[in-house]
């Protein structure tokens, strides 16, 4: 028993000395190790997110480049007409307004007035109208006037192209 008491006293003194002494420079407590593990995990997660964001940014840049290239490729085609030539000038707004007026009228009454217009004006207005409306008005026109308008539209007259007599060559 005395031996046990002596061992206990020596152990108590040793524990007190160890507790009072500063920790060794390389030794870490469980709390320190846990904190370091959490920091390392957070850094790995942040690195993964950063890589994912970089990939997304590269994908967005590539998509923007493809869209820009597609728009640039279409731009000349959009400026050209269906026959490959540059489109005629956009008609002045008064022709669109006249087209709306004639479309709103009854075809028989519109035809009476429409026939009296210059052929150039007829063509420009007819091009601004829906095909069905133009057809109904032309059906109500005299055959000679409807033929003249049809031929002028087929030749492409009325968009700044001078009209030529029926037998003249271009």
Domain boundaries, the chain: 31-87, 93-155
Q: What is the pTM of this model?
A: 0.41
* Spatial separation of the C-alpha atoms in residues 142 and 64, rounded to whole Å: 56
Residues of the chain above pLDDT 70, percent: 76
- Please say if the pLDDT value at position 30 is more than 50: yes
- Give which of 90, 101, 167 is closest to 133, Cα–Cα: 101
Residues 6+ apart with CB under 8 A from 137: 102, 107, 110, 111, 114, 126, 129
Mean pLDDT over the full length of the chain: 81
- Please say if the pLDDT value at position 93 is more than 80: no
């Amino acid at each position: 028993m005395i031996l046990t008491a002596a061992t206990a006293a020596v152990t108590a003194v040793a524990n007190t000395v160890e507790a009072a002494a500063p920790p060794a420079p390389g030794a870490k407590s469980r709390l320190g190790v846990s904190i370091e593990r959490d920091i390392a995990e957070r850094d790995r997660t942040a690195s993964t997110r950063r890589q994912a964001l970089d990939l997304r940014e590269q994908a967005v840049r590539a998509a923007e480049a493809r869209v820009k290239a597609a728009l640039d490729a279409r731009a000349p085609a959009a400026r050209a007409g269906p026959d490959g030539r540059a489109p005629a000038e956009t008609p002045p707004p008064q022709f669109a307004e006249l087209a709306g007026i004639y479309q709103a009228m009854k075809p028989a009454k519109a035809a009476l007035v429409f026939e009296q217009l210059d052929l150039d004006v007829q063509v420009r207005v007819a091009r601004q109208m829906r095909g069905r409306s133009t057809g109904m008005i032309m059906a109500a026109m005299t055959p000679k006037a409807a033929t003249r308008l049809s031929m002028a539209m087929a030749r492409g007259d009325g968009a700044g192209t001078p009209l030529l007599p029926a037998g003249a060559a271009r």
